Amino acid sequence: MTVARYSSVARWLHWLMAAIIIPVWCIGFTGGELIPDTERDVRKWVIGLHKELATTIIILVVLRLAWRAGHVPPQLPGFIPAFQRKAARVTQAVMYLLLLVTPVSGWAMSNAYDSSAPMLWLVTLPRLVAANRALGGTLMTVHQICAWTLGLLLAGHIAIGLHHALRRDAVWRSIV
């Protein structure tokens, strides 16, 4: 069966995730660094906000993948060359992987630094690893590499989305 648009649930999840991921990414890379050491309470609150929102991404990705498994997404239009369709599929798969690995590595990193991983001010996630500063450093590197890679892919995704929005073509109409 061929469909012209993503389902309303898929579109809603897409835009909800965008509304969470963009600020979480920005906070992760600027929030802690831009706040002076003299403002420890503010820094702690900003990093806490990053954790509270970032952990929800795990649930949203799982929901999105579960929804996608039962609902056929639209095919890319024929005017898009085959190599670009293949690149889009591969990039999408890598983005989904990074959308899971990045917050999970952050969760594990928090635990390794003997800190909690809260979710939406409702629950504290269980520990993934025991406190271990050396492991925390390794997990921080993994988290940062994944986050930068995800950020670059998302920037490309947004740029391509804007290209299709300006063209007002079928790709844009499928997700709005």
- 96-144 confidence digits (pLDDT tens): 999 999 999 999 999 999 999 999 999 999 999 999 999 999 999 999 9
Digit-coded pLDDT (tens) for 39-58: 888 888 999 999 999 999 99
Query: Which one-letter amino acid corresponds to residue 94?
Result: V
- Looking at residues 152-160, what average pLDDT do you find? 96
**Rg for the chain (alpha carbons), in Å?**
18
Degrees to nearest 5, angle at CA 109 with 105 and 112: 140
CATH number of 8-175: 1.20.950.20
Long-range contacts (CB closer than 8 Å, 24 or more residues apart) made by 46-52: 48/118, 50/24, 51/106, 51/110, 51/117, 51/118, 52/118, 52/119, 52/120, 52/121
Question: Domain-by-domain residue ranges, the chain?
Answer: 8-175
